[in-house]
Amino acid sequence: MADKKIKAFLIAGTGSGVGKTTIANGIMAALSKKYKVQPFKSGPDFIDPGHHTQICGRSSRNLDSYMMGEKGVLETFARASKGADFSIIEGAMGLFDGLDSTNVASSAHIAKILDVPVVLVINAHGVSRSIAAIVKGFSEFDRSISIQGIILNNVGSSRHIKLIKDSINDAGIKIPVIGGLPKNKDISIPSRHLGLHMAGENDPETMELAGFIEKHVDMDSIKAIAGNFKSLDVEFKNPEEQFNVKIGIGNDSAFCFYYPDALDALKMSGAELVFFSPMSDPLPDVDGLYLGGGYPELFTKELEASGTRHEIKKAAQDWMPIYGECGALLYLGASLETDRTYRMAGVLGANSRMTAKLQALGYTEAVVIADSPIAKKGAVIRGHEFHYSVTECDRDSHFAYKLNRGKGILEGRDGLMENNTIASYMHTHPASNSFDEFLTQCKK
């Protein structure tokens, strides 16, 4: 891995909403004043990593054992941690919450794969001695997980913190409380339908957040816990085949959900990435097009007004390979209904509309049932879906995926195809499905 020893730990919560994201961001900000910090996010989330990247100045990476497998988690962690002083992983949901009732895809699974120490965040509002029971339960539930510090959020006073510390000590628990944060509504991050606001939207001042953490968390204890991480010896190979192609990447506020590993995989395979905005830039001279998810529903007026949608339709009719995920599915269809119906690129025979109700959330597993621009028939791809929209397709529509797990576009089918274009509600990771087939099509 890196020449110097990496210090690392995972910040987990007892559940969602306990404040671990704010605390993780604050610790990253505090350490970034003096050190190189490599951020990570457990699970498939796109939004938290954007905040991490803005704070640390290094691209945050997802670690998801369901989509990536243990090998993929190890490789991403090893690659990204090179040159860093600290690697900090923000967990998802509660520490042990994974796929269904299993450990897979949980923060605990990531901690176990990497053998990193854990700092547990607990919401202390309205609780005192009961926290000792919570800590005891979490520390003994799976003894292979090493919880080495507790941070209390929403404490009422210094006396409240002392009561909790005394209760933990009286119970014979050897895990120290290393921080107690009072409630501070000024540093919370607002939410919308797909999660927290993106980085750059109403973020608290980084230095203010860092100062708040430094005042209420023992940073020397944080560094000591991180120092208990034992460096990993991970071997990985770069792709053997090199593709000399140019790939257009939609890159703006409407199309912003990409895993850095995906863009790196394209570059390592010899692709030149050409970033452009479908809202304001013409379609660049490229051999293929990759449009990620994001918020096209917030920019329907701009997308309809841009002549780029016509250029993309022409390129699709000329058989250019086009791969789209989630938000891109809405854009590549004929129309998208929000406050009214807007015309989109018209590449696919489908019309989409936004809904107030969540339509799908969770992991997916797709069997490829027809050769497509992204995978050959028979391949199995793992991913995830999360959307507040419905897509209605033409009767003669063709689908590339049959889902063993997940909802997809229609009755367990996903991956809508037309010519050499495919778009799905499913987001994927290159550790589950490489870009080799896509790049092969682009090279042709």
C-alpha closest to that of 326 among 246, 258, 251, 248: 258
Token couple for 214? 């430094």
Which amino acid makes up residue 83?
Answer: G
Measured distance CA(181)–CA(288) in Å, rounded: 49
Selected catalytic residue, list 56, 256, 326, 393: 326
Measured distance CA(111)–CA(107) in Å, rounded: 6
Pairing mode of beta strands 245-250, 271-276: parallel
Question: Is residue 326 annotated as part of the catalytic site, yes or no?
Answer: yes
- Residues facing residue 233 across a β-bridge: none
The secondary structure of the chain, three-state, reads CCCCCCEEEEEEECCCCCCHHHHHHHHHHHHHCCCCEEEEEECCCCHHHHHHHHHHCCCCEEECHHHHHHHHHHHHHHHHHCCCCEEEEEEEEECCCCCCCCCCCCHHHHHHHHCCCEEEEEECCCCCCHHHHHHHHHHHHCCCCCEEEEEEEEECCHHHHHHHHHHHHHCCCCCCEEEEEECCHHHCCCEECCEECCCCCCCCCHHHHHHHHHHHECHHHHHHHHHCCCCCCCCCCCCCCCCCEEEEEECCCCEEECCHHHHHHHHHCCEEEEEECCCCCCCCCCCEEEECEECHHHCHHHHHHCCHHHHHHHHHHCCCCEEEECHHHHHHCCEEECCCEEECCCCCCEEEEECCCCCEEEEEEEEECCCCCCCCCCCEEEEEEEECEEEEECCCCEEEEEEEECCCCECCEEEEEECCEEEECCEECCCCCCCHHHHHHHHC
Phi then psi for residue 305, to 5 deg, are: -75, -25
Q: Within a 10 A sphere around the Cβ of 232, how many other Cβ atoms?
A: 16
**Residues forming the active site:** 326
